[in-house]
Amino acid sequence: MKEFSLFERILSAIFILIGMIFLTIGALLITVVSGNIHFVPIIITVAIVLYIFFVLLVFHFYQTKQRKVIFASIVVLAILLSTVPLIQHEYTKRIEMVDAEINVDVYTPFSDSQEVATLEEDPTIQLTDQLPRMDGATALYPLYSAFVQATYPKRDYNPYDSAVMVNTTPAAYDNLIYGKVDMIFVAAPSKAQLTKAKQQGKELKLTPIGREAFVFFVNQKNKVNGLTMEQIKDIYSGKVTNWKEVGGDNDSIRAFQRPADSGSQTALENLMGDTPIMEAPTEDIATGMGGIINEVSQYKNFKNAIGYTFHFYSTEMVGNEKIKLLEIDGVEPTKETIRSGAYPIASEFYIVTAGSENPNVEKLIEWILSEQGQELVEKAGYVPIAK
């Protein structure tokens, strides 16, 4: 058999490299398009191993049994290491998931569900036409759904496409600012939302209609039962990074955040004041309020996590038993401590308007602030604005 020269061997190695690159790129494209990105490390590792194998073969590396064993051992180790992301992905998929997203359909006005709160007597206001178009945060949908069922005519109010919608807080503010709705039920606006309204020539009017607590929660297995306001600030500024620094186990703190302009992220910004909030890794930013609860509740993966939301949403709408609400400055968040003001992070939630010409907007707001309206706030599970 003809013996190849050094130049021919190098040339062969180059051709093998070019061929392997094309094959690898093709395999990676198919993998990414099909959504199986967890196979990428394996494909790259196998490609490198095959290239090295053929190059060493061309240069007659495998002339002794010892070299063959060494190469085979390295190959096995490399492939095993490349499967770690895939194994982690499959392991995570098999963990029991806790459904933390709510089904808004059960709170739709005039639906067959019994979840919507009602008054015992007839309301003193009944709207028949020129119905105020409304939107709001998911956490307040059960409340304004109850207002609608009490005062609007009976009909189908699709939560995503009707006079009564439910969205995220940022979407609700956009709908109000751009004139798609007359009123929204939300937490206070962020600085960015106030700026956007001003740019559109709109002045936001905030009418407080109830009180709600901003709460922090951890996995049920976390030994920490409470934090101080200062410790919360230290955690979300990145000053405190380990649970042992606040009385917990020796484990890093995974502090989840919400996207900018969401109601709870604005609440965190208000709480932090002049203390800068640390930049959260992308994977630690939950897109939905339910999502942030879901992430923390997965104790096998995220037993070291902390998140935040609003009291009613976490206790009444989700009720996830794998998380626990933390005491703040020694005070447990309950309806009683929210009402009395003992819980330190309680604030108003609002009806926000931006100059609607609908004459029924002010009539409806006036009724919501009346004794009947505030009674419905209580019956829906929230804390009325009036003591």
301, pLDDT greater than 50: no
Q: pLDDT tens-digit profile of 59-86?
A: 888 888 888 888 889 889 988 888 888 7
pLDDT reading at 292 higher than 50: no
Q: State the Cα–Cα distance between residues 289 and 310, nearest whole angstrom.
A: 9
- Give the percent of the chain with pLDDT over 90: 35
Q: Which helix (H) or strand (E) holds 94?
A: none
Kind of pairing, strands 305-310 and 205-219?
antiparallel
- Write down the pTM of the prediction: 0.63
Joined tokens for residue 121: 């007597």
Q: Which of 143, 61, 65 is nearest to 373 (CA)?
A: 143
User: Rounded CA gap, 101 and 245, in Å?
Assistant: 32
The mean pLDDT value for 162-167 works out to: 92
The pLDDT, as a whole number, for residue 27 is: 85
Helices (H), 204-285: 229-237, 263-272
Sign of the torsion formed by the C-alpha atoms of 142, 148, 153 and 159 = negative
Residue partners of 200: CB distance under 8 A and separation at least 6: 177, 178
Q: What is the pLDDT of residue 151?
A: 96
In terms of phi and psi (left: phi > 0; alpha: psi -120 to 50; beta: otherwise), the region of 169 is: alpha
Q: How confident is the model at residue 234 (pLDDT cuts 50, 70, 90)?
A: very high
Residue range 318-329: average pLDDT? 76
Q: How many CB atoms lie within 10 A of CB 39?
A: 20
Over range 12-31, report the average pLDDT: 86
Nearest-10 Cα torsion for 100, 106, 107, 113: -150
Show the tokens assigned to 86: 């895939």
Cα–Cα–Cα angle for 372, 374, 380, nearest 5°?
105
Topology of domain 98-387 in CATH is D-Maltodextrin-Binding Protein; domain 2 (3.40.190)
Tokens 């020539």 sit on residue: 201
Structure tokens at 384: 């009325």
Matching residue, tokens 């039962």: 225
Does residue 218 have a pLDDT over 80?
Answer: yes
The arithmetic mean of pLDDT across residues 222-231, rounded, is 93
Residue that is written with structure tokens 């390295």 in the block: 74
Residue 302's identity, in one-letter code, is F
Q: Is the model more confident about 335 or about 201?
A: 201
Q: Is 90 helix (H, G, I), strand (E, B) or coil?
A: helix
Dump pLDDT digits (tens) for 107-144: 899 988 778 889 999 999 999 999 999 999 888 898 99
CA proximity to 139, closest of 308, 385, 321, 255: 308
Cα distance between residue 235 and residue 381, in whole Å: 31
227 sits in which H/E element = strand 226-227
DSSP 8: H
